[in-house]
Amino acid sequence: MNYSFDFQSVTRNLGPLFDGLAVTLQLTVAANAIGLTLGFVLALLLMSPWRLVRLPVILFVEFFRCTPALVQIIWFFYCVPMLFNVFLGSITMGILALGFNLAAFNAEAYRASIQAIPREQLDAGIALGLNPVQRILYIVLPTAIRASIPVLLTNGIVIFQQSALVAIVAVQDLMYQAKSLATQTYRPIETFSVAALIYFAVSFPVTQLVDYLERRRLAVAG
């Protein structure tokens, strides 16, 4: 291959890329805020003794787990406005699509951790006179969150990467900026390589942190 690399075309235009990164991070943080809170509520509802409560939640969770994120995003941008006559701005719609997707995956992580809490531990809570809300707040929530942190972090960083999909619906995130820069400079190899490196630079420390937490948890358990 006879190609002369020109990374300067990218380094001269880092500004827009970092603006894009800021949008990507904004999407990630907001989607995680939804995913972490809504996910826990969904997990509790999933374990409800009443079928009427469980059923719609199961549908919600399975919809997001069993369809491609790309389809979900497109559906949110094009179908939701037409069906329900609401459009809340492209970033907000992006946050909702990613946030609901993450909530569905986090709900499963929480549910697994909640179900792993030994029954005697909850019995001890009853024996100590804690009411159901206090048992959730002081026993279930802290234990389940601690146990699910590695999975929640992994899901969170997956959403950071998945957020690149919103570029397709004109949210000006890192991927969108990279695409337009590549078109302007005719340097797709350099531009997308740098974009990939930026995604990597953010994700890698988090995956390392997850590994560390997993090792520590195993060490404590063993």
Which residues of this protein are in contact with other proteins, per CB under 8 A?
118, 120-121, 123-124, 126-131, 134, 138-139, 142-143, 146, 220
Report the C-alpha gap between 188 and 185 in whole angstroms: 8
CA distances to 37, 54, 116, 181, 210 from 68, rounded to whole Å, are 22, 23, 29, 27, 25
Nearest-approach distance from CB 114 to other proteins, in angstroms = 14
Residue with smaller CB distance to other proteins, 66 or 220: 220
Residue with smaller CB distance to other proteins, 45 or 122: 122
Per the CB < 8 A criterion, the answer to whether 196 and 213 are in contact is no
Residue with smaller CB distance to other proteins, 58 or 130: 130
Cα 205 versus chain centre, distance: 16
Nearest-approach distance from CB 149 to other proteins, in angstroms = 12
Q: Extract the tokens encoding 208.
A: 């390392």
* Nearest residue to 110 (alpha-carbon basis) of 184, 19, 35, 20: 35
Residue with smaller CB distance to other proteins, 7 or 138: 138
Nearest-approach distance from CB 31 to other proteins, in angstroms = 27
Nearest-approach distance from CB 155 to other proteins, in angstroms = 21
Residue with smaller CB distance to other proteins, 2 or 120: 120
Per the CB < 8 A criterion, the answer to whether 110 and 45 are in contact is no
Nearest-approach distance from CB 204 to other proteins, in angstroms = 29
Residue with smaller CB distance to other proteins, 78 or 138: 138
In angstroms, how far is the first alpha carbon of the chain from the final one? 54
Cα 121 versus chain centre, distance: 30
Nearest-approach distance from CB 135 to other proteins, in angstroms = 10
Report the C-alpha gap between 138 and 111 in whole angstroms: 17
Report the C-alpha gap between 35 and 28 in whole angstroms: 10
